[in-house]
Amino acid sequence: MNYRIEKLIDEREVSEGIKSLAESINRDYRGESIRLVCILKGGVFFMTELAKHLSSEVTMDFMSVSSYGAGTESSGVVKIIKDLDESIEGENVLVVEDIVDTGNTLSYLMDLLRDRNPKTIKLCTLLDKPSRRTRDIKADYVAFTIPDKFVVGYGLDYDQKHRNLPYIGVVEFND
């Protein structure tokens, strides 16, 4: 299928958005240690950039999940492809995600992680598409709220491609 990518948020805006998010996190945690939990693969670029601006002591862990569902819509039943390496009991967990869309994946994942008795757990996302939400889930930290468009770049893929774009772009299909 033919498509082009239209820039939505340029490289400078992305990096400034992440920096100001980090400032809010620094104010809220005031030096308390943070366990960043990155949801692979989309959250990687965001997490590494965010982590560079955090003043707390930071540790990182990674989780990979796949959402069962027909077509492009996630269903809320999540299969863990790779679980965390370390226990999160007693930790200040900050889940780092690329995008919250329907909220199905995160709603399931946050409940699952909450059951593991972290001291605190919050959700941080690079992008939020609130218009598509079907679950009552709200991220604690959002860098950018975007319209209902399919986006790529800065970790987000289309068919596993374009994750390495330094900006966020909208996929526009040619007819």
User: Is 128 a residue that touches ligand 5GP (CB under 6 A)?
Assistant: no
Angstrom distance (rounded) from CA 99 to CA 88:
23
Q: Kindly write out the interface string for residues 135-164 of this chain, putting x where it contacts ligand 5GP by CB under 6 A and - elsewhere.
A: ---------------xxx---xxx------
Q: Is 112 helix (H, G, I), strand (E, B) or coil?
A: helix
Show the site string, 63-92: x = touches ligand 5GP by CB under 6 A, - = not.
Answer: ----x------x------------------
Closer residue to ligand 5GP in complex, CB, 64/87: 64
- 8 belongs to the binding site for ligand 5GP (CB under 6 A): no
Catalytic residues: 101
- Cα–Cα distances (Å) from 31 to 12, 34, 124, 140, 163, in that order, read 27, 9, 18, 18, 32
